[in-house]
Amino acid sequence: MSPQRTGERADEVSTEGTSEGAVRPGYPERGGIDVFDSLLLRQPIADGETAAVRELIAEWADRHRDGDVRALLPVDGVTLVTLFLDDGAFGRTGDADRGPERGDALLWYVEVIDADAEAWTAPDETVREASPLFAAGLADLLAGGATVHAPGRDACRYMTHVTNPHRRERYAEAVGRSLIAPVAGDELPIPVALTSFALKPGATSALVARAVDLVNRLKRFDRVQSWARDETDTVESEAVYTESLLLEAVGDRQVVHYYMETESMDRLYEAFYESDDWEARFSEWLFRRVLADPAAFLEPPLETDCEVLIHAVDPERP
Cα–Cα distance between 275 and 32 in angstroms, integer?
A: 19
Average pLDDT over residues 197-222: 87
Which one of 127-141, 233-247, 298-312 scores highest in mean pLDDT?
A: 127-141
- DSSP bridge pairs for 139: none
The length of the chain is: 318
Task: Give the dihedral sign, CA 140/143/145/148.
Answer: negative
Confidence of residue 97 (pLDDT cuts 50, 70, 90): very low
- What does the pLDDT read at residue 4? 34
- What does the pLDDT read at residue 297? 92
**At a CB cut-off of 8 Å and minimum separation 6, what does 261 contact?**
80, 82, 167, 190, 191, 192, 240, 241, 242, 243, 311
Confidence of residue 289 (pLDDT cuts 50, 70, 90): very high
Average pLDDT over residues 201-223: 85
Buried-state track 201-213, b at ≥16 Cβ within 10 A, e below 16: beebbeebbeebe
Burial environment of residue 230 by CB neighbours within 10 A (0 to 12, 13 to 18, 19 or more): exposed
Average pLDDT over residues 167-179: 80
Cα–Cα distance between 307 and 62 in angstroms, integer?
A: 17
Nearest to 80 by CA among 145, 19, 162, 151: 162
Question: Starting at the edge strand that comes first in sequence, how are the strands of the sheet with 240-250 ordered?
Answer: 32-33, 156-163, 240-250, 253-262, 192-198
pLDDT at 237 over 80: yes
Average pLDDT over residues 56-79: 91
- What does the pLDDT read at residue 25? 76
Residue of 186 and 287 predicted with greater confidence: 287
Cα–Cα distance between 210 and 204 in angstroms, integer?
A: 10
CB 24 within 8 A of CB 56: no
Average pLDDT over residues 205-215: 90
Mean pLDDT computed over every residue of the chain: 84
Cα–Cα distance between 148 and 42 in angstroms, integer?
A: 6
Cα–Cα distance between 70 and 68 in angstroms, integer?
A: 5
Cα–Cα distance between 316 and 318 in angstroms, integer?
A: 6
pLDDT digits over 215-236, tens only?
888 777 666 566 566 667 788 8
Residue of 165 and 231 predicted with greater confidence: 165
Cα–Cα distance between 82 and 243 in angstroms, integer?
A: 13
pLDDT at 69 over 60: yes
Pick left, alpha or beta for residue 34 (phi over 0 → left; psi -120 to 50 → alpha; otherwise beta).
Answer: left
Amino acid at 21: G
pLDDT at 152 over 90: no
Cα–Cα distance between 108 and 81 in angstroms, integer?
A: 7
Average pLDDT over residues 291-310: 90
Cα–Cα distance between 27 and 12 in angstroms, integer?
A: 8
pLDDT digits over 41-59, tens only?
999 999 999 999 999 998 9
For the chain, what percent of residues have pLDDT higher than 90? 52
- DSSP bridge pairs for 312: 81
CB 161 within 8 A of CB 10: no
Pick left, alpha or beta for residue 180 (phi over 0 → left; psi -120 to 50 → alpha; otherwise beta).
Answer: left
pLDDT at 180 over 60: no
> HSE (CB half, 13 Å, CA atoms) of 114?
12
Average pLDDT over residues 194-215: 92
- What does the pLDDT read at residue 13? 37
Residue of 20 and 258 predicted with greater confidence: 258
Average pLDDT over residues 241-247: 95
Amino acid at 283: S
